[in-house]
């Protein structure tokens, strides 16, 4: 399944006129058993994403022993009481959206002298039930993060509303990132990764097309 998707992905990258070297494909392995993940890992894939810290704590300490170069991306909602564990277990955190979380991460980095990479999640659809900084707050939030905290913020992340054309949301995210000279865009999943590639995505988060349907 992974190999089939890789061929589809490489074709989409070429059609979008992009360089494969500037795009990180994240295999979203939530709800997947370690043996399913190992199959994909054995085909040379090193970048994985999860959205539940409890699941990460259960699965990933052993999986990471397979290869020191495995990159684990946290793509879920961040609970402040779990910030320490998320920082400890994950290399890249895609879902910063509250100043309380930013302050906690900055304190942990200072204390441990270990830095991670971050994305700020923008709620491009202004959906009240969804995580992410609302559009009206985005500029202020990003400015405060960049000016007042020394976190390594790579770029922005979004999850478009299910019933809308994702392109509009991807372009909105790209425009905001451009205003702040942020070079990375975490956007695009199994059903819209081609559009995301056309809109400049640098980090694509794909679960179903790599691992199959979740049980």
Q: For residue 48, give its domain range.
A: 2-211
Q: What is the pLDDT of residue 215?
A: 66
Cβ-in-10-Å burial (0-12, 13-18, 19+) of 176 comes to: buried
| CATH code, domain carrying 144 | 3.20.20.10
What is the pTM for the complete model shown?
0.95
- How far apart CA 188 and CA 181 sit, in angstroms, is 20
Chain segment 66-75, per-residue pLDDT in tens: 999 999 999 9
Considering Cα of 106, then 108, then 111, then 113, what sign does the dihedral take?
A: negative
How many distinct structural domains can be found in the chain? 1
Return the structure tokens found at 215.
Answer: 């049980």
Count the residues in the chain: 215
Q: Around Cβ 196, how many Cβ atoms within 10 Å?
A: 29
- How far apart CA 36 and CA 14 sit, in angstroms, is 28
Chain segment 5-50, per-residue pLDDT in tens: 999 999 999 999 999 999 999 999 999 999 999 999 999 999 999 9
Kindly report the average pLDDT of the chain as a whole number.
Answer: 95
* Mean pLDDT per 10-residue interval, the chain, length 215 residues: 92 95 96 94 96 96 94 96 97 97 97 97 95 96 96 97 95 98 96 96 96 79
Q: What is the pLDDT of residue 213?
A: 82
String of DSSP letters for the chain: -HHHHHHHHHHHHHHTT--GGG-EEEEE-TT--HHHHHHHHTTT--EEEES-HHHHHHHHHHHHTT-TT-EEEE-SPPPGGGHHHHHHH-SEEEEE--HHHHHHHHHHHHHHT---EEEEEEETT--TTS-SEEHHHHHHHHHHHHHH---EEEEEE----TTS-HHHHHHHHHHHHHHTT--EEE---TTTHHHHHHTT-SEEEESHHHH----
Q: What is the pLDDT of residue 177?
A: 98
- How far apart CA 212 and CA 215 sit, in angstroms, is 9
């Amino acid at each position: 399944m992974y190999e089939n998707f890789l061929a589809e992905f490489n074709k989409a990258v070429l059609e979008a006129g992009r360089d494969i070297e500037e795009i990180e494909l994240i295999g979203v392995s939530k709800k997947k058993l370690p043996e399913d993940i190992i199959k994909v890992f054995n085909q040379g894939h090193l970048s994985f994403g999860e959205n539940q810290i409890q699941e990460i704590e259960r699965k990933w300490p052993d999986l990471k022993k397979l290869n020191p170069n495995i990159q684990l991306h946290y793509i879920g909602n961040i609970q402040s009481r779990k910030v320490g564990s998320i920082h400890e277990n994950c290399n890249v955190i895609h879902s910063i959206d509250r100043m309380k979380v930013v302050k906690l991460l900055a304190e942990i980095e200072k204390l441990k002298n270990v830095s991670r990479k971050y994305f700020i999640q923008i709620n491009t659809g202004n959906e009240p039930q969804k995580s992410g900084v609302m559009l009206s707050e985005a500029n202020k939030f990003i400015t405060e993060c960049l000016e007042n905290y020394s976190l390594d913020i790579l770029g922005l992340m979004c999850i478009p509303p299910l019933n809308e054309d994702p392109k509009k949301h991807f372009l909105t995210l790209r425009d905001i990132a451009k205003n702040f000279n942020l070079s990375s865009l975490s956007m695009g999943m199994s059903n819209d990764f081609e559009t995301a590639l056309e809109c400049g995505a640098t980090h694509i988060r794909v679960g179903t097309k790599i691992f199959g349907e979740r049980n």
